[in-house]
Amino acid sequence: MQNSDQPRTEINTLGEFGLIEHLTRGFENKQANTIKGIGDDAAVIGDKDPVTVVSTDMLVEGIHFDLLYFPLKHLGYKLVVANLSDIYAMNATPKQITVSIAISNRFSVEALDELYAGIRAACENYNVDLVGGDTTSSQKGLIISVTAIGEAQKNKLTYRNSAKPGDLICLTGDVGAAYLGLQIMERERQIYLSNPGIQPDLEEQKYLVGRQLKPEARRDMIDVFAKAKLVPTAMIDVSDGVSSDLMHICKQSGVGCFIEETGIPVHQDTKLMALKFNLDPITCGLNGGEDYELLFTIDPKDLEKTKLLPDIFIMGEITEKSEGLKFHTNGGRIVDLEAQGWKHF
């Protein structure tokens, strides 16, 4: 397979997004009903309303999750939620999922029952049907692929590439908590590994651990938007981190942005725990992933509508591309926004 005469470029030299861009270059969309292909939270397909929205994710044991501290039931729940979040980020309603798994013989039927109990709980909570999938064996560990299918009115869809200078940058809920939850579980794991007799006490940090172990997607916001007759100009879900996900919007919309430190919603528990870990709370808020909040932009004329809506924070503003991506600190400094999202490679 590997011929030593041929050049060899390591995958990690491109990064995840660079690799996807590289591999899918040269592919052209030719189907009349392909409205949106690669490059958003989900693909959009259809000739007429409602159109179909499709998103897919692959998760690998040892890369995305550690079963030593991640119970299988929670894992099942979370992987569905993460996929549904991509559908909500299109301002669409998920209706169906498919789940494929590859498993080594280390897993018993009872272990898989736990996983599927979590998947079922998510299906019930979010009102989606499990309509297909594949089951096979793996050489090592558990690999899961989930595809979510939803529907939306074409003129309500929110893409990543349609933010305009002057738009306000908004965020639902708070960020950084899931990242701190992960740090806590990682710390407990280390304690457990060096002394298996000690039981982890996660109860005290229920909020942070809960944000990591049992996150919820912002289905409620899709209804809130509909009732307020508000269509964001662009939207993405916060899976990689606010910085990284905001950069996707800016890059694809061809715009710049600035966000204010005071605009980053960080929960009190997140702040306290960040300090315990010697981390900057705002850095956790900007770069922590897996919060599954919605990051979106609105036309300034919709500001009044937005003010009346619950749980929405205005973080900053979209600017001209030439102004770059900036972060205004409380101290009055202006620094470049940097992405430190999840790196799988």
Of 17-76, binders to a copy of itself (CB under 8 A) are: 19-20, 22-24, 26-31, 33-34, 36-38, 42-43, 45, 47, 50, 52, 54-64, 67-68, 71-72
To a copy of itself, the closest distance from the beta carbon of 137 in angstroms equals 5
Contact 47, 33 (CB under 8 A): yes
Cα separation, 318 vs 169, whole angstroms: 7
Which amino acid is it at 74? H
List the interface residues with a copy of itself, window 91-110 (CB under 8 A): 95-96, 98, 100-103, 105-110
Considering beta carbons, is residue 105 or 155 the nearer one to a copy of itself? 105
Before 50, cis peptide (omega within 30)?
A: yes
Cα separation, 226 vs 152, whole angstroms: 11
Regarding 165 and contact with a copy of itself (CB under 8 A), the answer is no
To a copy of itself, the closest distance from the beta carbon of 28 in angstroms equals 8
List the interface residues with a copy of itself, window 116-135 (CB under 8 A): 116, 120, 123, 127-135
Regarding 193 and contact with a copy of itself (CB under 8 A), the answer is no
Choice from 113, 201, 204, 223 touching a copy of itself (CB under 8 A): 113
List the interface residues with a copy of itself, window 247-286 (CB under 8 A): none
Name which of 55, 26, 32 is nearest 43 in CA terms: 55
Cα separation, 144 vs 102, whole angstroms: 7
Considering beta carbons, is residue 53 or 224 the nearer one to a copy of itself? 53
* Beta bridge mates, 172: 312
Cα separation, 98 vs 103, whole angstroms: 16
Cα separation, 24 vs 32, whole angstroms: 19
To a copy of itself, the closest distance from the beta carbon of 8 in angstroms equals 4
To a copy of itself, the closest distance from the beta carbon of 83 in angstroms equals 10
To a copy of itself, the closest distance from the beta carbon of 282 in angstroms equals 28
Regarding 331 and contact with a copy of itself (CB under 8 A), the answer is no
To a copy of itself, the closest distance from the beta carbon of 7 in angstroms equals 6
Regarding 195 and contact with a copy of itself (CB under 8 A), the answer is no
CA diameter of the chain: 64
Regarding 89 and contact with a copy of itself (CB under 8 A), the answer is no
- CB-neighbour burial class of residue 310 (10 A; exposed 0-12, middle 13-18, buried 19+): exposed
List the interface residues with a copy of itself, window 291-320 (CB under 8 A): none
Contact 33, 43 (CB under 8 A): no
Beta strands 93-103; 129-137: pairing state:
parallel
To a copy of itself, the closest distance from the beta carbon of 150 in angstroms equals 10
What tokens were used for 19?
């690799």
Considering beta carbons, is residue 136 or 199 the nearer one to a copy of itself? 136
To a copy of itself, the closest distance from the beta carbon of 188 in angstroms equals 15
List the interface residues with a copy of itself, window 132-161 (CB under 8 A): 132-141, 143, 145, 147, 149, 151
Cα separation, 293 vs 88, whole angstroms: 10
